[in-house]
Amino acid sequence: MPFPKEFLWGGAVAANQIEGAWNTGGKGWSVSDVATYKPGIDVKNYEAHISISGDAVKKAMADTDDTYYPKRRGIDFYHHYKEDLALFAEMGFKVFRLSIAWTRLFPTGEEDTPNSDGLAFYEDVFKEMQRLDIEPLVTLSHDEMPLSLCLKYNGWTDRRVIDLFVRFCRTCFAQYGKYVKYWLTFNEVDGILRHPFITAGILPDLCGEQNETACCYQALHHQFVAAGMVTKLCHQMIPGSKMGCMLTKLMTYPRTCAPEDVAATQKKNLENMFYTDVMVFGKYPPLILRDLEKRGIHIQSEPKDFQIIREGTVDFISFSYYMSMTESVDPHAERTPGNAVLGVKNPYLTSSDWGWQVDPIGLRISLIELYDRYNKPLFIVENGIGSKDILEEDGSVHDSYRIDYFRRHFQEMEKAIDDGVELMGYTSWAPIDLVSASTSQMSKRYGFIYVDQDDLGHGTLKRAKKDSFYWYQKVIRSNGEDLT
């Protein structure tokens, strides 16, 4: 019996990719409301999709239509949450990961008191989940920073944002602590260097004299301090609560056994784990500090920051895992996109329609590596495959490729558990089709549930169960024993 009895099976989403209702109920502008769908650009060119400038933000704010801003409409979970949660319950979900949009509670991020409509919305969602016996896992920051803080402070580069975020989190704990035991601070906290705007509200135009990379490290430091404060606060305000960090696990292998490739790979992997090192061990790793110094990056800090980071370490480690890549010093090595990264192609792996390399064994390696390094419970909070699904006339979707993807990953999870890894749970990304974080496409479909909507927002929003819906239901029912 490899999966523990209390294993938390479920699915994960983010408010900005599903809720819609972007200007309803007093919600303010968030960074995701200006994320633009850019048709005609190669989907593998993720950088072009996520690039943003001050002018682009202004242009987006002057345009209140949502056609080219799909995150404004999401899949209208705001009005469909009962139906969607019922479908999750039908699949047997034990847990559902969702985020609370900061701008629904504090439209500009700077109000003294929270917006009551926003509070009421999440109250209703959590009540419904309680009724359905689904445990919430809540991300406090998932690409939903108030746009106002971005324009006024250049996002997290400014220290003042720490207290504003803590105020938002305090409200969440006070209001929803009775429903929510499991929390995460920053989604893919490492994402700041790959997509500074949606992760931390940083606009290159506003970085002034500092280069953008230095701004990112400064912002990251502020996020580490905020995470420390919020973790401590969560433990104080909600007895028995558990706080996790969240990492994009970017598994990188050396392309060859040439020591040069191995050394380059080691560097990449150390960089990837730096974030969890800080949040688990409560201090910056010396090699990273030295590397920043060599690069002339000087983080501004206050003496109390390091005590806060030390005292606010996490209870568990959560991560997303979609793909792996390789590293090589050969400048001509063929590259392929992954989760907002370009890596060197691995000839032993196949790729998704979006070029992400599928590597179930890499998940097992990641689990073992993380558990061995941190000796803390792990939670896989994102894993899945974005594909071009076809809705048949009878309303079915035959997504055997998705079932195959999940089956192979679950088999590797089983092996890792059997090897002794403490795995608390698994939430697929995403249980229902939603708007892509990187490309803002709807056609990059992840769900067990199909949503009738295209990239430009046409469609009935009707939900339909894919073949994988029934398969996942069976997996959960058998607690992972029946993967046929």
Positions in the binding site for ligand BGP (CB under 6 A): 14, 187-188, 248, 320, 339, 382, 386, 429, 436-438, 444
Q: 71 near 99, Cβ under 8 Å?
A: no
Tokens of 253: 């292998």
Residue with structure tokens 């090192």? 277
Residue 240 carries which DSSP code? T
- Provide the Cα torsion 317, 356, 464, 71; round to 10°: 70
Return the number of the residue (14 or 317) whose C-beta is nearest ligand BGP: 14
Residues 6 or more apart whose CB falls under 8 angstroms from that of 464 comprise 391, 395, 396, 397, 449, 450, 452
**Least separation, in Å, of the C-beta of 18 and ligand BGP?**
10
Residues 6 or more apart whose CB falls under 8 angstroms from that of 340 comprise 46, 50, 191, 194, 195, 248, 438
First-to-last alpha carbon distance for the chain, in angstroms, is 16
C-alpha span between 4 and 92 (Å, rounded): 16
**Least separation, in Å, of the C-beta of 240 and ligand BGP?**
27
Q: How many residues does the chain have?
A: 484
Return the number of the residue (312 or 386) whose C-beta is nearest ligand BGP: 386
Q: 452 near 464, Cβ under 8 Å?
A: yes
**Least separation, in Å, of the C-beta of 210 and ligand BGP?**
26
Return the number of the residue (115 or 248) whose C-beta is nearest ligand BGP: 248
C-alpha span between 53 and 240 (Å, rounded): 43
Return the number of the residue (218 or 441) whose C-beta is nearest ligand BGP: 441
Tokens of 16: 């900005």
Return the number of the residue (176 or 319) whose C-beta is nearest ligand BGP: 319
Count of C-beta atoms within a 10 Å radius of residue 59: 12
- Strand bridging mode 95-99 / 8-12: parallel
**Least separation, in Å, of the C-beta of 16 and ligand BGP?**
8
Q: Where are the alpha helices (DSSP H) in 211-294?
A: 212-237, 259-281, 286-294
List the helix and strand counts (H, then E) for the chain: 16, 16
Tokens of 159: 């220290």
**Least separation, in Å, of the C-beta of 17 and ligand BGP?**
6
**Least separation, in Å, of the C-beta of 132 and ligand BGP?**
24
The set of catalytic residues is: 188, 382
**Least separation, in Å, of the C-beta of 2 and ligand BGP?**
26
Return the number of the residue (48 or 86) whose C-beta is nearest ligand BGP: 48
C-alpha span between 481 and 5 (Å, rounded): 11
Phi first, then psi: give them for residue 463, nearest 5 degrees. Answer: -95, 140
CA 265 to centroid of chain Cα atoms: 24
Determine which helix (DSSP H) or strand (DSSP E) holds 473, and give its type and residue range. helix 467-477
Return the number of the residue (142 or 159) whose C-beta is nearest ligand BGP: 142
C-alpha span between 457 and 73 (Å, rounded): 8
**Least separation, in Å, of the C-beta of 252 and ligand BGP?**
16
